[in-house]
């Protein structure tokens, strides 16, 4: 963990630069030094079926969800979400200036009970850290 998931309306696909945003978010999460790098996942879901407000305009939205395991302090969670939302606002500023656009971010924190994981990506980072310490 963490997982960052965005849903975005297909009417902004050409201008949204979604892959670039996902990389920016991963960079934020890595920079915090509190999440295992091998567990960070960011992904996007392009929405083709949606209805916004009264459906009378070509409105758009981007909704993000950050899922993390329990145990981080409120201060850490708030700082992380603030930084991520600022990245989102900066990233979409050009769109926000010339079209109707709703941006949102929610934090989902869950216990480890009921989650099942198998991940050998962590091993790569443990090996890299070990060789850095030599």
Which positions are annotated as active-site residues?
2
Kindly report the three-state secondary structure assignment for every residue of 50-81: CCCCCCCCCCEEEEEEEEEECCCCHHHHHHHH
Write phi, then psi, for 53 (nearest 5 degrees).
55, -130
């Amino acid at each position: 963990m963490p997982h960052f998931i965005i849903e975005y309306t297909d009417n902004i696909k050409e201008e949204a630069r979604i892959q670039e945003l996902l990389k920016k978010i991963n960079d934020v999460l890595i920079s915090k030094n509190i999440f295992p790098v091998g567990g960070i996942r960011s992904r996007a879901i392009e929405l083709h079926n949606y209805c916004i407000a009264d459906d009378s305009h070509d409105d758009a939205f981007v909704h993000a969800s950050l899922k993390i395991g329990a145990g981080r302090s409120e201060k850490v969670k708030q700082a992380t979400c603030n930084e991520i939302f600022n990245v989102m606002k900066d990233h979409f500023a050009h769109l926000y200036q010339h079209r109707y656009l709703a941006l949102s971010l929610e934090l989902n924190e869950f216990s480890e009970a009921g989650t099942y994981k198998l991940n050998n990506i962590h091993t790569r980072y443990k090996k890299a850290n070990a060789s850095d310490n030599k």
